[in-house]
Amino acid sequence: MRTRSLFITSGVILLTCNLSVAVLEYSVAEPRASATTPTTIRASVSAPQNPRKRPQTVPVVHGSSKPAQTIAPVLIATKEREPQAKPTLLEAVDHTDIRAHHQEIANEVLRALPTQCLSALKRLYVRYDNPDQRGLAGKNSIILDGSVPDSEFRALLIHEFGHITDLGCLTGANASAPSGFRDGTETIYANDPSVGFYQISWTSSRTKVSGTQDEDFVSGYASWDPFEDFAETFAYYVLQRDAFAMRAEENTALAEKFAWMETHIFQQDTAVATGTHRWTGTVPWDVTKLGYAWLASR
């Protein structure tokens, strides 16, 4: 979910450092045992180096009828490999309170995603105190649980960056009329590009288009509100694109959402993951719990 001052639930969230962050209003679904098991949805506030070669004695043979003669030893120089430089850490993840392992994962993931909204993320926080929420996000900040497995950490980051893309990057202006959608108390204007996505399944922040079915959403959690619909669809496109495309062939709403993501976010995108989840006709509950193989960073 998304942010506005610092996200505080009924159990007060204490960050390990003094943070001045907008309150986080959007999170991934909490808690769950599996990707396909619905649970109560909480509200938004809720290579070693090669050794040098030894000197070699080189035999010189001038013809098959002549014996080989040996010349003085010649040192054959070999160039030691330079240590491969690690990618420069993005400013948002270059903080000492984030463990190096998670810095590397986050840096790789963010550099693998489309770059047009990357600057909207100002700060990533990783908590190591067993927080209630696995992930929270707002317009410019993300908080993740550092105790989850690496594959889940990566998927959570992608989901939450979907919120950053939606709320902190693709924005409208009050020169346009209100869209009928609100982010809490904040008006979302009609010229906000995200509105076109919302309107596929929603008429307002809490009301679905008449006739909308569960199958019209990539996951159960996506059906919670337009903002979770956006973030789950964003993550599903990145991590489960083949399944998404398959489902879109038989579902008009999903076809529109797939096309919207390709048109507005992933225009020249190269796949960075292959989903291992197979569509069997049952809508998964949570995209961040689905299996996938991470291919490579850009």
Question: What was the pLDDT predicted at 179?
Answer: 96
pLDDT per position as a tens digit, 96-105: 999 999 999 9
Structurally, how many domains does the chain consist of?
1
And the tokens for 236?
């599903």
27 vs 285, which has greater pLDDT?
285
Q: How confident is the model at residue 49 (pLDDT cuts 50, 70, 90)?
A: very low
Give the strand pairing for 59-60 and 69-70: antiparallel
Say if residue 47's pLDDT is above 60.
no
Residue 54 inside a domain? The answer is: no
Q: Count CA atoms closer than 13 A to 223's CA, side-chain side.
A: 17
And the tokens for 152?
């889940």
Residue 49: Cβ within 10 Å count: 9
Q: Which of 74-83, 87-96, 144-153, 172-181 has the lowest mean pLDDT?
A: 74-83
Q: Please name the helix (run of DSSP H) or strand (run of DSSP E) that holds residue 197, with its range, or none.
A: helix 194-201
Stretch 159-169: mean pLDDT: 98
**Which domain does 227 fall in, by range?**
2-33+85-294
Residue 181 inside a domain? The answer is: yes
Q: 190-216: buried (b, 16+ CB within 10 Å) or exposed (e) per residue?
A: bebebbebbbbbbeebeebeeebeeeb
Residue 136 inside a domain? The answer is: yes
In degrees, to the nearest 5, what angle opens at C-alpha 206 toward C-alphas 29 and 203?
125
Closest C-alpha to 248, from 273, 271, 217, 276: 217
> What is the per-residue DSSP string for 231-289?
HHHHHHHHH-HHHHHHHHTT-HHHHHHHHHHHHHT-TT----EEE-----SPPPS-GGG
Number of residues that this document lists for the chain: 298
CB of 151 within 8 A of CB of 294? yes
Question: What was the pLDDT predicted at 270?
Answer: 83
CB of 26 within 8 A of CB of 113? no
Question: Quick one: what percent of the chain has pLDDT higher than 90?
Answer: 66
Residue 45 inside a domain? The answer is: no
Residue 250 inside a domain? The answer is: yes
Stretch 261-266: mean pLDDT: 96
Q: How confident is the model at residue 174 (pLDDT cuts 50, 70, 90)?
A: confident
Question: What was the pLDDT predicted at 268?
Answer: 78
3-class DSSP state for residue 36? coil
Say if residue 182's pLDDT is above 50.
yes
Residue 90 inside a domain? The answer is: yes
35 vs 206, which has greater pLDDT?
206
Q: Model-level pTM?
A: 0.76
Question: What was the pLDDT predicted at 21?
Answer: 46
Question: What was the pLDDT predicted at 52?
Answer: 38
Distance of alpha carbon 242 from alpha carbon 128, whole angstroms: 34
Average pLDDT, whole number, for the chain? Answer: 81
Residue 134 inside a domain? The answer is: yes
Residue 71 inside a domain? The answer is: no
Most confident of 28-42, 76-90, 252-266: 252-266
Question: What was the pLDDT predicted at 19?
Answer: 43
